[in-house]
């Protein structure tokens, strides 16, 4: 805000009392869709979530979780965890990375900032390496942005370009990597025709190479380092289209988990290791899965794995990925300035907060929730607990994940009465939904529902209030559909499994013995979205939300 009259003090709410314990549950990837056999939430036994929906119609509603409601460029953009948790925690809608990069590319401002000036120094004598997710999913990166960047840098003096691709299959259909690599190869061929030495240098599947998050498995980042920086990988190919096609022939491989490969010349030498004097840009805009590679590329003192070589490079992120760590220090586009989040306000107003998830979603209820900041606002009022996730497996193998453990931690935190807000993320619907395994996703949804029950029971015991919602859809629709909603088949007559998120709205339910009988959802916020949840939660803690927050979803009527 920056105005001299600014204060963290929140006004007391005239109608909502203070001192109620609030259990705040985010079901990751839990949207609302028509019931059918590809709606795993519908197929699964979910008595707790069902009872919230049918038990109290005034206390259950849907909220928007995709597109402009969460700061994404268009209504065709599905929701995701970063933008969803940002909106839930910040209470306002910020133009998100995808949109900011679009604007910076369209205006040319991306080439005028400090970040571009910094990497440009290497264009004469060195190579420019671009590392990132190759897809049009719009969650972590977008192909069209990469294409514009390639054009822009080559027009501004980059003479030698190497692209290190990470195949997707998670935010887009599995198998689509081949088409994306073909498109990129075509663009690079056009650049070569104009005299730019441009090639794909390495690749691998995003879940196996480079894009780990929250330090779940550094081996993933190391595999990327070996291929991208050292030019070493178990598979060597002369071109990337052949690499992806060939590696996909093994039924164990899919786009998400493609093993690392490097492109070699006729002498078998890697065409694009990263060496002294080169520039590197990680072109993903989303933070969580770039923080680890950014550390490896930027930190002089780094001992998590043996980098073998630490080349003297100029490195910039598409965005700055961690505002607290200032990582990376150089970036092409300024990230959204998500300030004055509800977590920060509540802590300033004495609200004691507990947050918990397992590793793969831990940063969602902490880092994303707090506007992409790691760490506590006030460690004497907050406690964040991370339950280690299984690593090295795909979550269809263990679809219950750590839901029970998360719920038990939340239960204990609630019953301890040491906290005013107990916030969790239950990852199952999302993480298992991304595997495309429909049966496992049904098991996952049941496990998440059971976890909700444990938390609601604890809230019941302490006379508290619950808020159960989700960050975006995923498990409620596991099939790609045509415009009229019919499942699409592939050339073998099998359904096209949807591993990605969806455009669906998500539920929000409130209740518990601490909620006064007259509290209900307002009828005059029909387009409410995730950003309306923060003001709602502030009210339930007994405060009026700041005036620039999106409207509260609740009201009190006299019975
Ligand atoms: O990073 C991922 O796992 C997916 O691209 C998006 O999933 P999330 O937004 O739920 O984390
Ligand atoms: Mn999510
Ligand atoms: Mn997801």
What CA–CA distance (Å, rounded) separates 115 from 100? Answer: 15
Pocket test for ligand 1, best of 171, 372, 436, 476 (most atoms within 8 A of CB): 171
Average pLDDT across the chain, whole number:
97
Average pLDDT over residues 318-322: 96
Distance from the alpha carbon of residue 360 to the mean position of ligand 1, in angstroms: 10
Distance from the alpha carbon of residue 214 to the mean position of ligand 1, in angstroms: 12
Distance from the alpha carbon of residue 249 to the mean position of ligand 2, in angstroms: 30
ipTM: 0.98
Confirm if 32 and 65 have CB atoms less than 8 A apart: no
What CA–CA distance (Å, rounded) separates 82 from 103? Answer: 19
Quick: pLDDT tens for 397-409: 999 999 999 999 9
- pLDDT at position 4, please? 65
Average pLDDT over residues 286-293: 97
Distance from the alpha carbon of residue 80 to the mean position of ligand 1, in angstroms: 6
Residue whose CA is at the smallest distance from ligand 1 atom 11: 81
Pocket test for ligand 1, best of 79, 81, 431, 499 (most atoms within 8 A of CB): 81
334 carries an active-site annotation: no
Pick the atom of ligand 1 nearest to 364's CA: 11
Q: How many CA atoms lie within 13 A of 359 on its CB side?
A: 14
Quick: pLDDT tens for 361-403: 999 999 999 999 989 999 999 999 999 999 989 999 999 999 9
Quick: pLDDT tens for 86-126: 999 999 999 999 999 999 999 999 999 999 999 999 999 99
Pick the atom of ligand 1 nearest to 474's CA: 10
Confirm if 142 and 286 have CB atoms less than 8 A apart: no
Quick: pLDDT tens for 195-241: 999 999 999 999 999 999 999 999 999 999 999 999 999 999 999 99
Average pLDDT over residues 253-267: 98
What's the predicted TM-score (pTM) here?
0.96
Average pLDDT over residues 164-188: 98
What CA–CA distance (Å, rounded) separates 338 from 93? Answer: 9
- Give the number of the ligand closest to the Cα of residue 28: 2
Pick the atom of ligand 1 nearest to 171's CA: 5
Residues in contact with ligand 1 (CB, 6 Å cut-off): 28-29, 80-81, 139-140, 170-171, 289, 430, 434
Distance from the alpha carbon of residue 261 to the mean position of ligand 3, in angstroms: 26
Q: What is the SS3 assignment for 280?
A: strand
Residue 208 CA from chain centroid, whole number: 17
- Give the number of the ligand closest to the Cα of residue 255: 1
What CA–CA distance (Å, rounded) separates 181 from 164? Answer: 11
Average pLDDT over residues 307-314: 98
Confirm if 143 and 174 have CB atoms less than 8 A apart: no
Residue whose CA is at the smallest distance from ligand 1 atom 10: 81
Pick the atom of ligand 1 nearest to 213's CA: 1
* Structure-block tokens of residue 113: 């900032």
- Give the number of the ligand closest to the Cα of residue 256: 1
Distance from the alpha carbon of residue 140 to the mean position of ligand 1, in angstroms: 8
* Structure-block tokens of residue 504: 């669906």
**CB crowding 18-32: b at 16 or more within 10 Å, else e:** eebbbbbbbbbbbbb
- pLDDT at position 3, please? 53
- pLDDT at position 284, please? 98
Distance from the alpha carbon of residue 555 to the mean position of ligand 1, in angstroms: 33
Residue whose CA is at the smallest distance from ligand 1 atom 8: 81
Residue whose CA is at the smallest distance from ligand 1 atom 1: 289
User: Catalytic: which of 4, 7, 81, 141?
Assistant: 81
Quick: pLDDT tens for 517-557: 999 999 999 999 999 999 999 999 999 999 999 999 999 99
- pLDDT at position 116, please? 98
- Give the number of the ligand closest to the Cα of residue 65: 2
Pick the atom of ligand 1 nearest to 79's CA: 9
In this prediction, what percent of the chain has a pLDDT beyond 70? 99
- pLDDT at position 5, please? 81
Distance from the alpha carbon of residue 544 to the mean position of ligand 3, in angstroms: 32
Q: How confident is the model at residue 256 (pLDDT cuts 50, 70, 90)?
A: very high
Pocket test for ligand 1, best of 284, 430, 441 (most atoms within 8 A of CB): 430
What CA–CA distance (Å, rounded) separates 334 from 293? Answer: 19
Average pLDDT over residues 175-185: 98
Residue whose CA is at the smallest distance from ligand 1 atom 5: 171
- Give the number of the ligand closest to the Cα of residue 139: 1
Quick: pLDDT tens for 396-444: 999 999 999 999 999 999 999 999 999 999 999 999 999 999 999 999 9
Average pLDDT over residues 269-282: 98
Angle between helices 403-416 and 438-462 (to 10 degrees): 10
- pLDDT at position 558, please? 85
Pick the atom of ligand 1 nearest to 80's CA: 9
């Amino acid at each position: 805000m920056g105005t001299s009259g600014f204060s963290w003090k929140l006004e007391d709410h005239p109608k909502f009392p203070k001192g109620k314990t609030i259990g705040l549950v985010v079901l990751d990837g839990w949207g609302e869709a028509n019931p059918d056999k590809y709606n795993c939430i519908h197929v699964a036994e979910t008595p707790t979530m069902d009872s919230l929906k049918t038990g109290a119609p005034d206390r259950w509603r849907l909220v928007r979780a995709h597109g402009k409601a969460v700061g994404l460029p268009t209504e065709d953009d599905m929701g995701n965890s970063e933008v969803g948790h940002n909106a839930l925690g910040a209470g306002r809608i910020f133009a998100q990375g995808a949109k900011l990069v679009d604007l910076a590319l369209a205006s040319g401002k991306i080439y005028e900032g400090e970040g571009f000036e910094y990497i440009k120094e290497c264009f004469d004598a060195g190579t420019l390496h671009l590392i990132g997710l190759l897809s049009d999913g719009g969650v972590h990166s977008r192909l069209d942005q990469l294409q514009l960047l390639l054009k822009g840098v080559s027009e501004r003096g980059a003479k030698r370009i190497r692209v290190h691709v990470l195949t997707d299959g998670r935010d887009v259909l599995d198998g689509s990597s081949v088409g994306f690599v073909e498109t990129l190869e075509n663009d690079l061929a056009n650049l070569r025709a104009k005299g730019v030495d441009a090639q794909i240098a390495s690749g691998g599947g995003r879940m196996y190479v480079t894009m780990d998050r929250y330090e779940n498995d550094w081996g993933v980042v190391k595999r990327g380092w070996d291929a991208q920086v050292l030019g070493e990988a178990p598979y060597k190919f002369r071109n990337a289209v052949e690499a992806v096609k060939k590696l996909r022939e093994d039924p164990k491989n899919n786009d998400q988990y493609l093993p690392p490969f490097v492109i070699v010349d006729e002498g078998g030498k890697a065409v694009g290791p990263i060496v002294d004097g080169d520039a590197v840009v990680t072109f993903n805009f989303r933070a969580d899965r770039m923080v680890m590679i950014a550390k490896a590329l930027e930190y002089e003192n780094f001992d998590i794995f043996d980098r073998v070589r630490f080349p003297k490079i100029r490195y910039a992120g598409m965005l700055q990925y961690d505002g607290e760590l200032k990582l990376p220090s150089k970036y092409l586009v300024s990230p959204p300035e998500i300030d004055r989040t509800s977590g920060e306000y509540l802590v300033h107003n004495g609200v004691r907060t507990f947050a918990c998830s397992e590793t793969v979603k831990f940063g969602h209820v902490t880092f994303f929730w707090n506007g992409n900041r790691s760490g506590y606002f006030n460690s004497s009022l907050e406690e964040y607990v991370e339950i280690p996730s299984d690593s090295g497996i795909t979550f269809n193998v263990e679809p219950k994940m750590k839901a029970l453990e998360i719920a038990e931690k939340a239960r204990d935190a609630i019953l301890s009465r040491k906290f005013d807000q107990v916030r969790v993320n239950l990852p199952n619907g999302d993480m298992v939904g991304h595997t495309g395994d429909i049966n496992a996703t049904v098991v996952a949804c049941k496990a998440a529902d059971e976890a909700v029950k444990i938390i609601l029971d604890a809230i019941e015991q302490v006379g508290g209030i619950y808020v159960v919602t989700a960050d975006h859809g995923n498990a409620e629709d596991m099939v790609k559909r045509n415009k009229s909603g019919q499942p699409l088949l592939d050339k073998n007559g099998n359904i096209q499994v949807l591993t990605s998120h969806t455009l669906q709205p998500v539920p929000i339910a409130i209740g518990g013995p601490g909620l006064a009988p007259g509290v209900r959802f307002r009828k005059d916020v029909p387009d409410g979205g995730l950003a309306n949840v923060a003001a709602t939660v502030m009210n339930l803690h007994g405060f009026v939300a700041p005036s620039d927050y999106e409207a509260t979803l609740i009201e009190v009527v006299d019975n």
